[in-house]
Amino acid sequence: MKTIFDKPIILDSEKENVVLIYSDYIIGDITRQDANLAIEKIKSGDFILSEFISVIKVKEIFEYEFEKDVDACIMFGIKNNEGTSYKNIDFKDTETAIKADSLIKEQFEALGFVRKEEQLSVIGASIFPLIVTGIVAVAGGLLTWFAYEMESYENTRTRVVKWYVYLMVKISKSVGYLPFLIITGVLVLLCLFWMVKRMSNPPVKISVIR
């Protein structure tokens, strides 16, 4: 049976690991030594998926996407007997992610995938940063409120509390709520700056769908 990728493709990943694309598999976050071992096992027919943590069967992919010059990973949509799931394959940097896409697009087009490249709208570019900003603001606000309440709190109970609650109480009594307020404000401002930057120059999203 003809395989999808006849020749092994090895690309740099995080922490000096690599990504292997070969035969009918995409294997992420492995050492170069394990990649060479996987190549030999695939050639000999002894390849076992459970021996590797991050393995994707190419034939189970129904889409993949990433934002050009922004994402250092490619998100693959997978559909099999277990249902639908999504898995990120991480690369060393954004340039390596772009290189990976250029090396696999021909094979995916041969499988019937349709490629689409479009620049996000201003609103579309702002959605994800806006969600992150909201999460940071809410979480920081709750921590600030908790620290404010704990400043004058005196525990009269004798029961044992969780270690993280005890730690938060001790920190709140030691430094007060202002550090939490300042850190939250700085993080929210950074998130807003990130959002404005994306909105001023919306990234190009590459989607490849079967």
Strands (DSSP E) along 1-94, which ranges? 5-12, 18-23, 25-30, 54-57, 61-68, 73-80, 83-90
Per-residue pLDDT band for 49 (boundaries 50, 70, 90) equals confident
Give the predicted TM-score (pTM) of the model.
0.78
**Residue 71 to residues 65, 67, 95, 128, 203: CA-CA distances in angstroms?**
10, 5, 9, 13, 10
CA nearest to 65, candidates 201, 205, 210 = 205
Residues 6+ apart with CB under 8 A from 146: 168, 172
Q: Which long-range contacts (CB under 8 A, 24 or more apart) does 46-53 make?
A: 47/23, 52/27, 53/29
Start-end of H helices in 7-52: 32-44
Structure confidence at residue 3 (pLDDT): 86
Q: State both tokens at 38.
A: 């996987």
CA nearest to 209, candidates 104, 68, 108, 91 = 108
Q: Quick: pLDDT tens for 109-129.
A: 999 999 999 999 999 899 999
CA nearest to 126, candidates 203, 187, 196, 66 = 196
* Cβ(7)–Cβ(20) below 8 Å: no
Structure confidence at residue 51 (pLDDT): 86
Structure confidence at residue 153 (pLDDT): 63
Structure confidence at residue 134 (pLDDT): 96
Structure confidence at residue 92 (pLDDT): 94
> Residues 14-29: what's their mean pLDDT?
93
What does the H/E/C string look like for 91-151?
CCCHHHHHHHHHHHHHHHHHCCCEEEEEECCHHHHHHHHHHHHHHHHHHHHHHHHHHHHHC
Q: State both tokens at 88.
A: 């990120």
From CA 113, how far away is CA 1, in angstroms rounded? 20
